[in-house]
Chains A and B, each alone.
Chain A
Amino acid sequence: MSYKAIVIGSSAGGLAALKELLSPLKKSFKIPIIIVQHISPQSDNYITTYLNNLCELKVKEADQRELIKKGHVYFATPNFHLLVEENYSFSLSTEDRVNYARPSIDVLFETASFAYGEKLIGIVLTGANHDGAKGLRIIKERGGLTIVQDPKEAEVDSMPLNAIKESKVDQVLKLKDIADFLNRLG
């Protein structure tokens, strides 16, 4: 299977987890990565700046109508939902919070799975709520690959546990093993 995109959802404890997951990825890693990290609505762009300095890959905020490119890591903007269009570009939305969150992981996962179908990998990391669980189930239903961070390793285990409860996920892995797995893919 050649995967066309990876979507990741993280919440409490997410910044440290994302650092551990993204920094080992090789410069030659091709598959675009799209991330919703729950964050305060007023935040500036410190996460993307911080991770861009640590990673080989280009890390940036997803812009309205931007085309999704290989070798890029995109973050959802604080206070906007991030949607993937079926022509592989981004849309932003200010519609109501979903699972108390804006951006919401489910919104990203559901729209990305329409765009990429079985060629999508969904990953749920540490967090304190249930956002992402439904989205991960939908990715799985449409033939995509689903991975959850090992709850024993996660700083906050409810989000991984809820995702595992909601559907039969393909892999439960530690961050280091997720990074290794991704590096082997491309």
Chain B
Amino acid sequence: MSKTFEEDNKTLNIEIELLLEAIFKKYGYDFRDYGKAHIKRRVLHRLASSKLESISHLQHAILYDEEYFKLILKDFSINVTEMFRDPSFYKKLREEVIPLLKTYPFIKIWHAGCSTGEEVYSMAILLKEEGLLDRTQIYATDFNQNVLKTAKEGIYPIDKVKEYTHNYQKSGGIHSFSDYYTAKFESVILDNELKSNIVFADHNLVSDKVFAEVHLVICRNVLIYFNKSLQDKVLDLLEKSLIPGGYLALGSKESIRFSKSNKEFDTVDDKEKIYKKKLSIKKA
């Protein structure tokens, strides 16, 4: 019995490898350096909810039917987020980073992997309260067109508002969270003013190049889905997108410590994973 499981599992892993190769060759989306356990879970989940009998059959369906590809693309991207997720992070950002951003006449922020936009609007609220929104340009990017559409609309389910309000207060918000939205039926619509300086755009961290030169890069809970070499590659891209003295913010379980980019940064806050790009790098 166990022999069979081991054999079957080996075959399964071969099929998944071939599937990712096929997706890359046919559609250009590269998941080959994503964490294997995550991808396997998502593929098997898709297979279980289809009527197909194996991953090889799924591969056939994806190659010949773009709609099937779109389904798997959705499966692979994680779009779970919330406003002011990890309030202590936003508090630290407000206390440690904002005062330095204020010294610039014009500020650019890149939010890489913005998903459905909740954290982008959280940032916009923070900037507004600090008097910086008018002179800030936020670029918010994701590889998934569907989530970008939701992000642009800025409309969220009303049942989340209680949690968001709580997060907002814990993050050091100085007004009332209800100042920033209008409730309508089952939804809340975020104020247009928050959206005015945000550009939402399609960008793939795995395959696209440097996006802009910015003062702050926010890329949270994206790198955890990548293997070591892809993480190094993307961190390098993020580093190159920052001005000297610019800031990088990662997710709470992500770190630059063991990456090649480590030497390019000083740590601003180890717990909240905020780093500052060094002003000049001494060449060896």
Report which A residues bind B (CB closer than 8 A).
63-65, 77, 80, 83-86, 91-96, 107, 110-111, 114, 117-118, 142-143
B36 interface neighbour in A85, A96, A110, Cβ under 8 Å: A85
Residue of A nearest to B75 (CB): A95
Q: Known A77-B253, A80-B253, A83-B37; judge A96-B5 contact (CB<8 A).
A: no
| Seed contacts A77-B253, A95-B78, A95-B80; 7 additional CB < 8 Å A-B pairs | A80-B253, A83-B35, A93-B38, A107-B41, A111-B40, A118-B1, A143-B1
Q: Known A94-B221, A143-B5; judge A65-B228 contact (CB<8 A).
A: yes
B254 within 8 A of A: yes
Question: Which residues in A have their C-beta under 8 angstroms from that of B78?
Answer: 93-95
Q: Known A83-B37, A83-B41, A111-B37; judge A117-B5 contact (CB<8 A).
A: yes
CA distance A110 to B45 in the complex (A): 12
- Interface pairs (22), CB distance under 8 Å: A63-B253, A64-B254, A65-B228, A80-B253, A83-B37, A85-B35, A85-B37, A86-B36, A92-B224, A92-B253, A93-B224, A93-B225, A94-B78, A94-B80, A107-B41, A111-B40, A111-B41, A114-B40, A117-B5, A117-B6, A118-B2, A143-B2
Give the interface residue-count category, chain B: 20 to 34
User: Are B253 and A114 in contact, with the CB atoms below 8 A?
Assistant: no
Q: Known A95-B78, A117-B5, A143-B2; judge A64-B41 contact (CB<8 A).
A: no
Tell me what chain B mostly uses at the interface: helix, strand, loop, or mixed: helix
Question: Which residues in B have their C-beta under 8 angstroms from that of A117?
Answer: 2, 5-6, 9
Residue of B nearest to A93 (CB): B38
Question: Which residues in A have their C-beta under 8 angstroms from that of B5?
Answer: 117-118, 142-143
Q: How far is the CB of A132 from chain B (nearest CB, A)?
A: 16
CA distance A63 to B258 in the complex (A): 13
Across the A-B interface, how many residue pairs have beta carbons closer than 8 Å? Answer: 58
Q: Known A95-B78, A96-B80, A114-B9; judge A142-B36 contact (CB<8 A).
A: no
CA distance A157 to B88 in the complex (A): 36
Q: How far is the CB of A62 from chain B (nearest CB, A)?
A: 10
Interface residues of B in 198-228 (CB under 8 A from A): 221, 224-225, 228
Question: Which residues in A have their C-beta under 8 angstroms from that of B2?
Answer: 117-118, 142-143
- Across chains A and B, which 8 residue pairs bring their CB atoms closest together, nearest first? A118-B2, A143-B2, A83-B37, A91-B35, A142-B5, A111-B37, A94-B221, A85-B37
Among A83, A94, A142, the one with the most B-chain Cβ atoms within 10 Å of its Cβ is A94
Residue of A nearest to B13 (CB): A86
Interface residues of B in 14-49 (CB under 8 A from A): 35-38, 40-41
Question: Which residues in A have their C-beta under 8 angstroms from that of B35?
Answer: 83, 85, 91
Question: Which residues in A have their C-beta under 8 angstroms from that of B1?
Answer: 118, 143
CA distance A77 to B2 in the complex (A): 31
Residue of B nearest to A78 (CB): B252
CA distance A107 to B41 in the complex (A): 9
CA distance A86 to B36 in the complex (A): 8
Question: Which residues in B have their C-beta under 8 angstroms from that of A63?
Answer: 253
CA distance A111 to B9 in the complex (A): 12
Question: Which residues in A have their C-beta under 8 angstroms from that of B6?
Answer: 117
Q: Known A94-B78, A143-B2; judge A83-B38 contact (CB<8 A).
A: yes
Q: How far is the CB of A7 from chain B (nearest CB, A)?
A: 14
Among A83, A92, A107, A111, the one with the most B-chain Cβ atoms within 10 Å of its Cβ is A92
CA distance A24 to B40 in the complex (A): 36
Question: Which residues in B have their C-beta under 8 angstroms from that of A93?
Answer: 38, 78, 224-225
Q: How far is the CB of A89 from chain B (nearest CB, A)?
A: 9
Among B6, B38, B78, B225, the one with the most A-chain Cβ atoms within 10 Å of its Cβ is B38
B41 interface neighbour in A80, A86, A110, Cβ under 8 Å: A110
CA distance A134 to B7 in the complex (A): 22
CA distance A85 to B13 in the complex (A): 12
Residue of A nearest to B5 (CB): A142
Among A83, A114, A143, the one with the most B-chain Cβ atoms within 10 Å of its Cβ is A114
